[in-house]
Each structure stands twice: as structure tokens, then as C-alpha cells.
Amino acid sequence: MIKRAHIRQFLAVVDAGSFTRAAQHIRVTQPALSTGIADLERLVGAPLFIRNRRQIRLTEAGGRFLPIARDLERGFRAADTFGRAEESDRPALKLGTIRSVPGEFLQAVAALLARDFAIEIVENGESDLRAGVHGGRLHIALVPLRPGERGPHVVPLYDEPLVMFVAADHVLAGRGEVGPEELAPETMIARRACELLDATSRFFTRHRVRPRFALRSDSDERCLRMVAAGVGITTAPVSLAIEGIVPLRVGGYDLRRELGLLIHPTWRAQADVAPRLAHALPAIERAATDWRAAKVDG
């Protein structure tokens, strides 16, 4: 008999795209997860995944089983919340976000969506988030938009430049703009969450700036705190500024990013989703306008 654990394990692998990440997400060992999936495949009478070293993909049977599994999970969740109308009345929303979205802005977006939806937030890289929306594993993704990316299911929010941040008492702090060659003696901090990290590296290499790195971290907050401490300097979107650091323009370094929402069209059209989303999106767009005025243009 198929159990809820089977459904939970199957959806975890689909959403994570790997057995390792899925096992971590649902807090089981990888052998236990593999055994559970094998048991489910035996029960349904067909392989559900194509396994190789690079990626996990659904088989044709797995693709047909996916909507059934999602319906079953929704049913289980509805049963769990039965009698708690305020929770069960809200449709589920799986929101994906890149890690470099400012926490305060993500808070504003999540608060507006949480009024009408039961939210689960997933952090990942841009390509995985886009694939998640395309494959129906995510309902909305907050990602950098590609140049000119528009459409009925794309909601542009705000754009901003990347700048060099230095400590407020740094010798360059009062300059406003510097040439890239002036940064050659500086110690750098690498923001691994930066979606433009490769382009930034190519820019400085082209200008023969090959610095020493004091820190490489996935945490934007930690990187910027270390800039404020005088440990090194780093590039970041201007809206990530914190107390104790100041932005510098670097001549020729004109990278920008535009953040926006990608929305899964089938989910968006659902009867219990469409009116709620139509109410939330204009409020999110207004919040983005206010954010840009305060943090980018201000």
C-alpha cells in the first residue's frame, strides 16, 4: 500500500533534483530514501526516475504520477489542517528565491503573499529556480530577469547597479568613482551568492586586477560585515548596503541586475489562486517601487 511517506519522498526528489538534497530536506538518510523510492516503484509497477551522475529525471510513468502525487499531498495537508479554517482556506504557494535578494525586501514580498497563501520558501540558484517553475515544482520564483525578459507570467520588480563597497573609513571612501587599476592593491571578499560573479571576475582580470581574497562566503550579510570591519572590499547590488560601508563606482564596471517574479501559468490560472494573486501582485509591485526609491535611487 502506498503511504504518505512514499509520496513525501517522491516529491522531495522531484523538487530537489537529487537524492542527496532530497534526503537532507526531509531529514532521512540517503539509503533510506533510495529504499523508499524503490518500494514506491515496486508498488506502482514502473520506474519513476531516470538516474545518472549528472541529474535525476522523471520517466514517462513518473511524469504521469507527479500530478497524482501532488494531489495526494494536498489532500494529506488538508486533512492535517482540517478544522483550522484559517489555514486550510489558503492555497499553498511554493516561492523560490535566489540567496542575494535583500532580506528586508524578501520580507515585504513574503508578508504580502502570506496574507492569501500558505507559503513555503526555497532558496536555490537561478537556473534551478527557473527549472523549478518550468517543471511545476515551484509556483513563483524571485530571480534576476534576463535582458528584455517580459511576458504574461513575468513580473518585473526593480533594477539596480552593482557597485564596489568599501568600509566607511577606507582611504577611497570619499572618491565616488575609481579606476579598476586603482583596486589592484586591495584585498577582496568574494560573495559566492553573486549571480554576476563570473562577469565580475572577467572584468577585473581584463584590467589585470588579481587580488588576494580574505573571505569567500555564501552569506552576503557576512561578506558585507567584513567589509565594514575593514577586512576587504567587495562588489554587490547597491540595495545590499549596510551601516559602515559606502559604495564606489568603478570606471567601466556597468553590471546591473533586474529582479522579477516568474509565475507558473497553470498554477496561476487555478480558481482559488487567480483572484488572490491578482490582489497580491499590485501590492508587491508598489513595494518594489518604494524599495527602489529608498535603497537604489535614494
Q: What is the CATH number of the domain that holds 201?
A: 3.40.190.10
**222 inside domain:** yes
**Three-state DSSP class for 245?**
strand
Amino acid 84: pLDDT: 55
Residue 235's pLDDT is what? Answer: 97
Q: Is residue 211 a contact partner of residue 183, using CB atoms and an 8 Å limit?
A: yes
Whether 250 maps to a domain, the answer reads yes
Does the pLDDT of residue 153 top 90, yes or no?
yes
28: domain CATH number? 1.10.10.10
Cell numbers linked to 284: 508587491
Of the three residues 62, 79, 96, the one that is the final residue of a domain is 79
Using the 3D structure, point to which of 79, 95, 126 is the last residue of a domain: 79
**More confident site: 80 or 222:** 222
pLDDT (tens digit per residue) in 74-118: 888 778 766 654 445 789 999 999 999 999 999 999 999 999 999
Q: Is residue 87 part of a domain?
A: no
Q: How far is the C-alpha of 45 from the C-alpha of 41, rounded, in Å?
A: 6
Distances (CA, A) of 23 to 1, 14, 34, 195, 234: 22, 12, 9, 26, 35
Is 71 within the bounds of a domain? yes
266-280: average pLDDT: 94
Residue 204 structural domain: 160-256
**Is 145 within the bounds of a domain?**
no
pLDDT at 81: 65
- The three cell numbers locating residue 134: 518550468
Residue 19 lies in a domain: yes
Is there a domain that residue 295 lies in? no
Residue 271 domain-assigned (yes or no): no
> Is a pLDDT exceeding 60 seen at residue 138?
yes
CA dist., res. 199 & res. 164, Å (int): 14
Count of domains in the chain? 2
Given 26, 53, 79, which residue is the final one in a domain? 79
Residues 239-259: pLDDT tens digits? 999 999 999 999 999 999 999
Give the model's pLDDT for residue 85.
47
Averaged pLDDT score across all residues of the chain: 92
| pLDDT greater than 50 at residue 132 | yes
Q: What is the mean pLDDT of residues 61-77?
A: 89
What pLDDT digit, counting tens, does each position of 9-41 carry? 999 998 888 898 889 888 889 999 999 999 999
